[in-house]
A and B are shown apart, each in its own frame.
Chain A
Amino acid sequence: MDQCTLARVNVFAVLRCLEDLPTHDAEARKIAEGKRETIQFTVGGVGKARLAIGGGKIEFLPQAGPNTINLWFPKADALNAMFAGTGKPIPLKGLTKIGYLKGPFSTLTDRLGHYMRPKPELLKDKAYREANAALSLRAAVYAMTEIGNHDRDGKLNAARMADGEILLGTKNGLDLTIAVKGGRLEAHKGQPTKRRARMVFADLESAGALLRGEMDSYTAIGAEKLELGGFVPILDHMNKILGLVPRYLS
């Protein structure tokens, strides 16, 4: 597995999912209501991104900018070590705010882990299952774009994708758009402006079952838990990239 791609997945997919955590989690909502802090992640050879937490929301900003805490990772491995729980960042700015990192920020990442690493007993709860599915679906789509743009096999498949916008979501309204142009992928929330293909789950339950590995995609399609339509070749190549996501997210 390519460490730079993994670092990009960790920053631009996993951390990005914190944006949606308050929708599902009371503790996250409470932290989001608190004082605003902006944490910048600076990863050598990978890129920079910020999380703005407070003022009623959590915002992921995929570039450098004004911040109150700046965490530096000399290279991808260092960031990946932090995500694996075996490494620590070097604070370049906000040394007095270590407490925030160990406190509210740490709580947020713990809560995200709670929803994204499901345990059988937790999955008995419908609200938990839905939160797990919604966050996992977003993480998978965001991760897929990073893998398509940076992983060796991902890039091969992305290069085969025709230009256009793909709707990936659920029938009850979770909409994500993957825009493809010149073999580069971008994902954003909401419906496409001009849809070229669609990949729509019957509901969040079905999306969760597939993402948790309880159901395979071929079965999902045959059982109409997952509908495909439109310019199918673009989906065919995208699915090859989606197939690489578990390697990185697991």
Chain B
Amino acid sequence: MQILDHSKSRELFARAVKVIPGGVYGHLGPAEGCFMPVSAYPLFSSKAQGAYFWDVDGNRYVDYMCAYGPNILGYGDPDVDAAALAQLKDGNCVTAPSAKMIELAELMVDTVAMADWAFFCKNGGDTTMFALMIARAATGRGKVVLTKGGYHGVAPWTQKSGHPGITPEDVANNLYVEYGDFEALERLFREHPGEIACFMSTPYYHPVFDDNRVAPEGYWQKVRALCDRHGVVLAIDDVRCGFRLDTAGSDKHYGFEADLMCFCKALANGWNVSCLCGKDSLKDAAGGVMYTGSYWLSAAPIAAAIACITKMRKIDAARICTEKGKKLTSGLAAAGKKHGFDLRISGEPAMWFMRIADDDTYELHQAWVAECVRRGVFFTNHHNLFMNTAMTDEDISFTLGVADEAFAALAKNGPAGAGKGR
């Protein structure tokens, strides 16, 4: 297979760093994105369609990052984009909001099992922050329990003391517990009676750099009862998993009911809108918190979300993603085995995590991923991957061919592709 060239990406990066901090900042950039070595990766796209994106050098990639989740129906889905573009003609960011927001709220309440109401923002972090504020408003308490390794955005309270820009006061109300450790959670609740407003967690454990895992059997049901007993709001951050595991919400998928549910990513197939859903008992508190933003009620993304949810329900997007994920990951693991590598797959098949488990430095894995990207399959090293419904059997077959060749290169060259030995 052809080894792809990224010279235009490099030229553009040189331009970008002159006027943009870091060139490409955040999770899409080479540093946070763990592009190792950077030369193997495209840095800028020129277009995207379906399961693919093309970089500025004209290379096509089968994309298993899906813009880190938003792309669930395929880039440029005709139904979603048509709805957004039609709404753009009627009006988008207007002094009075479009009635489309009611339509979307009704659709969310009808779709998400736990939802009695819906509130729209822009990013996932907007919803986690709002969830915490609502919990505090409703309970009159300050503390929040978070799971170690959990990610809830980039607001100071979601980060770590000692990190740049974060003060000890920013995280002073945070308590931490290992994911899935019910006894530890129970102990924390006991040690802080009347202090904890909220327990916030992702529905399953999907940290970076570590195997992903679902909670132990019965964990969520016990957590639900514990929160009820202590008057603690149970907020589920479904930003990353939402709609990929179950269109009705990941709490439903795991057999419990959250008080607040945060959605973003797959909500509108890439159009910028996020949503917090809640129970009736928290509706007054939600209405009492001052929370708004310039573009939060823009109508085009809301129209896109309506079309996206409608289509996800119609085609059962979560089931499709899970089935395609199973097919792909079993093939990837088999390709690794053929060449003597233990490619460990973990997490939910629709958004799996993988690592070559043969060394604890990850250098083999980084080299293999780089070999795949060089051949037109876009993975990243240490973040979970994402499946979308536009992925075809041919795409999966192509991917498995690339994976096989990449494993062969790894078997032959060792981790030299990732720069080992300098």
A216 vs B381: C-alpha distance when bound (angstroms): 23
**Does B192 touch A at the CB level, under 8 Å?**
no
Which A residues form the contact surface with B (CB < 8 A)?
152-154, 156-157, 160, 171, 195-198, 200, 216-219, 221-224, 227-233, 240, 243
Q: Is B37 an interface residue (CB 8 A)?
A: yes
Instruction: Summarize A's interface: helix, strand, loop or mixed.
Output: mixed
Which residue of A196, A218, A224, A228 is within 8 Å of B29 (Cβ)? A218
Q: Are B38 and A231 in contact (CB under 8 A)?
A: no
Contacts A195-B361, A223-B17, A229-B366 given; 4 further ones with Cβ under 8 A? A153-B161, A222-B31, A228-B36, A230-B366
Give me 9 A-to-B residue pairs in the complex whose CB atoms sit less than 8 angstroms apart, sorted by A's number: A153-B161, A223-B13, A223-B14, A223-B17, A223-B23, A224-B37, A224-B39, A229-B37, A232-B36
* Count, A-B residue pairs, CB within 8 A: 85
Cα–Cα distance between A96 and B43 once the two chains are bound (Å) = 65
User: Could you tell me if A221 and B361 are in contact, using CB atoms closer than 8 angstroms?
Assistant: no
Complex: chain A residue closest to B25, CB-CB: A218
Q: Which residue of B lies closest to A156 (CB)?
A: B162
A218 touches B361 (CB 8 A): no
Chain A positions within 8 Å of B363 at CB level: 229-230
On chain B, the residues within 8 Å of A160 by CB distance are: 160
Q: Which segment, of B123-131, B241-249, B414-422, faces chain A?
A: B414-422
Q: Chain B residues with Cβ under 8 A from A219's Cβ?
A: 17, 22-23
Which 5 residue pairs spanning A and B have beta carbons closest together?
A218-B22, A156-B162, A153-B162, A230-B361, A221-B31
Contact A224:B362 (CB < 8 A) given known A157-B162, A217-B31, A243-B164: no
Minimum distance in angstroms from A168 CB to a CB of chain B: 12
CB contacts under 8 Å to A, within B27-45, are: 29-31, 34, 36-39, 43
B327-380 CB contacts (< 8 Å) to partner A: 360-363, 366
> B31: which A residues are within 8 A, CB to CB?
217-218, 221-222, 228
Chain B residues in 8 Å Cβ range of A152: 162
Contact of A222 among B24, B163, B361, B420 (CB under 8 A): B24
In the complex formed, the residue of A with least CB distance to B26 is: A218
Q: Is the CB of B209 closer than 8 A to any CB of chain A?
A: yes
A221 in contact with B30 (CB, 8 Å): yes
By beta carbon, the residue of chain A nearest B43 is: A222
Mask: chain B, 392-421; 1 = CB below 8 Å from A; 0 = not: 000000000000000000000000001110
CB-CB under 8 A from B14, the residues of chain A are 223
Which B residue sits closest to A227, measured CB to CB? B419
Residue contact A222 to B418, C-beta cutoff 8 Å: no
Smallest CB–CB gap between B30 and chain A, Å? 4
Docked pose: A104 CA to B34 CA in angstroms = 48
Q: State whether A230 and B22 are in contact (beta carbons under 8 Å apart), knowing that A156-B160, A222-B29, A240-B164 are contacts in the complex.
A: no
Contact at A218–B163, with CB atoms within 8 Å? no
**Cβ of B382 < 8 Å from any Cβ of A?**
yes
A240–B38 touching, CB < 8 Å: no
Cross-chain contact A222 with B21 (CB below 8 angstroms): no
Partner of B17, one of A200, A222, A232: A222
Q: How far is the CA of A240 from the CA of B362 in the complex (A)?
A: 21
